[in-house]
């Protein structure tokens, strides 16, 4: 019985420490830790999403910003997209390029599921999609 509690504790601890990002085939492509560290499937750090919305690469160079209003900007503060409250992701010309669904699905503009997120703020999932895993921009 102690073994089961230990495994449950380890599983819960892993869930709380990082959230898995998967591709459309449910294969793990990366993780977002609760502190905003973004890792690839091999647990190598590939970037950071700061609580203030700054997105950095693995060398701490700023590569973009996610603003509170959902505006996504590159490192030069040029708008490259928008994340709407309903999860619609648009490019800088307001054309829909994807969706971040409440059920955890990440879809392209044709509603094909290209990935999944769980337990991560919608804006962080979109930041991961824009800058690291799916290249929505």
Per-residue pLDDT of the chain (137 residues; tens, 9 = 90+): 333 333 333 333 333 456 888 888 888 888 999 899 999 999 999 999 999 999 999 999 999 999 999 999 999 999 999 999 999 999 999 999 889 898 888 898 899 888 888 877 878 887 887 788 765 44
Q: What is the C-alpha separation between 103 and 95, in angstroms, rounded?
A: 23
Number of domains in the chain: 1
Residue from 71, 38, 80, 41 nearest 53 by CA:
71
Instruction: List 96's β-bridge partners, or say none.
Output: 90
What range defines the domain where residue 121 resides? 2-133
């Amino acid at each position: 019985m102690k073994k089961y509690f230990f495994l449950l504790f380890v599983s819960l601890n892993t869930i709380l420490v990082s959230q898995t990002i998967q591709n459309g085939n449910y294969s793990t492509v990366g993780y977002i830790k609760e502190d905003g560290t973004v890792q690839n499937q091999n647990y190598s750090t590939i970037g950071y999403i700061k609580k203030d919305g700054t997105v950095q690469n693995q060398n701490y160079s700023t590569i973009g910003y996610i603003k509170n209003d959902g505006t996504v900007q590159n490192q030069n503060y040029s708008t490259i997209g928008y994340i709407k409250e309903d999860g619609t992701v648009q490019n800088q010309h307001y054309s829909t390029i994807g969706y971040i669904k409440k059920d955890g699905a990440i879809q392209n503009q044709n509603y094909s599921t290209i990935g999944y997120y769980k337990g991560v703020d919608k804006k962080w999932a979109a930041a991961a999609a824009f800058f690291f895993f799916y290249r929505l921009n």
